[in-house]
Amino acid sequence: MKKNLLILTLIYIFFSVIYYAKTGNFLVDFSREAYIPYQMLQGEKIIKDIFLIYGPFGYFINYLLYKVSVNINLLLILSHIIGYICTIIFYIISKHYLKEKDSLILSILFICVSVFSNSTFSFVVPYSYSTLWAYLGCYLAYYFYINQKTKNLYATLGFIAINRIELFILLFIFFSAIYLYEKKFNQIKNFLYVLIFPAITIVILFIQKIPVKSLIDNIVFIKKMISTQSVYNLYKSMGGCFQKEYIILNAFIFLLLFLILTISYILYKKNYKFTGYAIFIAALLFFNLNNIFNLSAFFIVTLLAFLKYKKLITKEDVIISIFSLLLCYKSLFKISPLGYSNFGYIFIILTIYYQLTKILDKKWVRNIFIIFTVLTAISNYKYFLIQPKFSLKYDNQKLYFNKKDAILFKKTNEYIQKNIKKNEQIIVVPEGQIFNLINKKSWNFYNSTFTPLDFETFGEKYLIEKLKKNKTDYIIFYPRNTKEYGFATICYDYGVNFCTYIMDNYKRTAIIEEDYKVLIFKINNET
């Protein structure tokens, strides 16, 4: 085991060096996460002054890191550490079901595909630290379950609750149902363990004197946000929302891949091993390898049905299958590569691997997954060769962008540094709090961004009134296509009255061009 842990550690370090800060999008995906702890450092309080979408734990931790130094590198290093811990926990869990060699293969696959994914939903440049902590809690919860540490399990569920409440609800019901079925369920006692982390969080919020009204307002806004057209469009654009056409297409792709695997296995068993593997490799070249993860629900259901038919099914088969599907419920039957459940897909892969080894030749299963791991790692790396990242250095911290984005970002930031005074405020719409962070400037707005989602959640009238009250000195329109929300361009597809107010009360001071235009407006103090 020590040897395999060393191998995993070395591979993880290797990928960390190659991919450090190069996944995701700093401006869109990481901007908000990096800036909120800085707001807290300036005395602003979550819920009261900062709209909170996710649980508060991640922001508290990042705030403490910024107390040491306001440096994005600290956040990135933390996310790498969380990813590494998840990798090791997963390896230990998989050993409960598989041999060490097989556990090592799947853990390497996890590193190559999920931790260092080129998707927005990456462990190492996360769009939400609360999500990272929540999934770390999920990994720990299952580890405690298989090791029969019930107290630790329920305390961990409470930890998940202060990060992502929807995951907590699903897993609390799941594990409680198991113990109820096994007649080991002590509801009152277990519920008390669940309350440990939420109670600590409530005490912290109480010490910070967060008004009850602010908490209620935050909940109301979240409820409204969930029901917006923008949220529906966002999930639909990612191939989610259980769209009928996506489910049918995925079913077709699943049947095609299932047929290819069957042919490969038959040839392998008839001693045409090279031909069998060659057919599988050739077939994979025609698939988007990341999309294959979205077929996993079909594989799990098919395998469970087959195990039931063969009378090989066990309670463990059912439990790990349901657990893995719950971790990935937001991305089941999708058509876009990976996605939200990139953080949990590895448990579905473990489930499939474990169940395949019960009914098929173990060596063939192992080799198929080795091939898939290698090809997926190459596919991910090719993405960075096609779209290399360029670094910009600000105060001993590097930000990475695609080439044309890097040039525009650099020009815009140079203008801010040369022309906007230290005590003057800026907002960058529709997203761009990273500019505020590297220039140490106040955002001065309760809402996080100015995407279509915010305009629907808070209302355009509310945002205009806030702008009037705040008297923000500079407003920068930075080119950001928000079509994933169903409304592509601010001032045209949404926020028309908001922009009209700006045109009437601000004067344009600069246009910065680099393929796209950045428009900079300064408040007209004469109005």
Average pLDDT, whole number, for the chain? Answer: 87
Residues 499 and 484 in one domain: yes
Residue range(s) defining the domain that contains residue 443: 390-523
Q: What is the mean pLDDT of residues 434-461?
A: 88
Domain boundary residue, one of 325, 356, 384: 384
Vertex 417 angle, CA 415 and 421, to 5°? 110
Same structural domain, 395 and 518: yes
Please identify, among 384, 407, 423, the residue that sits at the C-terminal boundary of a domain.
384
One-letter amino acid at 527 equals T
Clarify whether residues 218 and 361 are in a common domain.
Answer: yes
Residue 236 and residue 337 in one domain = yes
Q: What is the pLDDT of residues 263-289, one digit of tens each?
A: 999 999 988 888 988 988 888 887 766
Q: Provide the sign of the torsion angle of the four alpha carbons 19, 24, 27, 31, taken in this order.
A: negative
Residue 504: pLDDT band by 50, 70, 90 thresholds? very high
Is pLDDT of 290 > 90? Answer: no
Position with higher pLDDT, 190 vs 305: 305
Rounded to an integer, the average pLDDT of 216-237 is 87
pLDDT computed for residue 238 by the predictor = 67
Q: Is residue 398 scored above 90 in pLDDT?
A: no
- φ, ψ of residue 42 to 5 degrees: the values are -85, 5
- In this prediction the pTM is 0.92
Least confident span in 30-34, 48-52, 390-394, 489-493: 390-394
Structure confidence at residue 91 as a pLDDT band (50, 70, 90): very high
98 plus 159 within the same structural domain: yes
Say yes or no to pLDDT of 510 above 90.
Answer: yes
How many domains is the chain partitioned into structurally?
2
Residues 321 and 427 in one domain: no
- CA–CA gap between residue 77 and residue 84 (Å, rounded): 11
pLDDT value of residue 24: 77
Q: Are residues 266 and 126 in the same domain?
A: yes
Residue 492 confidence (pLDDT) above 80: yes
pLDDT for the residue 60: 94
* Pair 409, 514: CB distance under 8 Å: no
Q: What is the pLDDT of residues 170-186, one digit of tens each?
A: 999 999 888 888 776 67
pLDDT at 124 over 80: yes
Residue 384, H or E segment: helix 362-386
> What integer pLDDT is reported at residue 291 of this predicted model?
65
Separation CA 184–CA 450 (nearest Å)? 49
Which percentage of the chain shows pLDDT scores above 90?
46
Q: How far apart are CA 197 and CA 469, in angstroms?
A: 37
pLDDT per residue as tens digits for the range 294-324:
677 788 888 888 888 888 888 899 999 999 9
pLDDT of residue 241: 56
Q: Per residue in 92-117, pLDDT tens? A: 999 999 999 999 999 999 998 889 88
Place of tokens 């999930």: 235
**Who contacts 120 (Cβ-Cβ below 8 Å, separation ≥6)?**
24, 25, 29, 127
Q: Which residue has the higher pLDDT, 122 or 360?
A: 360
Domain boundary among 355, 384, 413: 384
pLDDT at 525 over 80: no
In this predicted structure, which of 212-221, 285-294, 364-373 has the lowest mean pLDDT?
A: 285-294
Identify any residues that bridge with 511 across adjacent strands, giving them in sequence order: 519
The tokens describing 260, both together, are 């290819």
Nearest to 264 by CA among 273, 253, 256, 255: 273
Are 23 and 135 part of one and the same domain? yes
Q: Are residues 44 and 134 in the same domain?
A: yes
pLDDT band at 347 (very low <50, low <70, confident <90, very high): very high
| Greatest pairwise CA separation for the chain in angstroms | 86
Contact 158, 196 (CB under 8 A): yes
- H/E run at residue 398: strand 397-402
> Same domain for 398 and 359?
no
Same domain, yes or no: 283 and 225: yes
187 and 297, same domain (yes or no): yes
Residue 519 pLDDT:
94
- In degrees rounded to 5, what are phi and psi of residue 507? -115, 140
Neighbour count for residue 223 (Cβ, 10 Å) = 10
User: Which residue carries 């988007």 as its tokens?
Assistant: 288
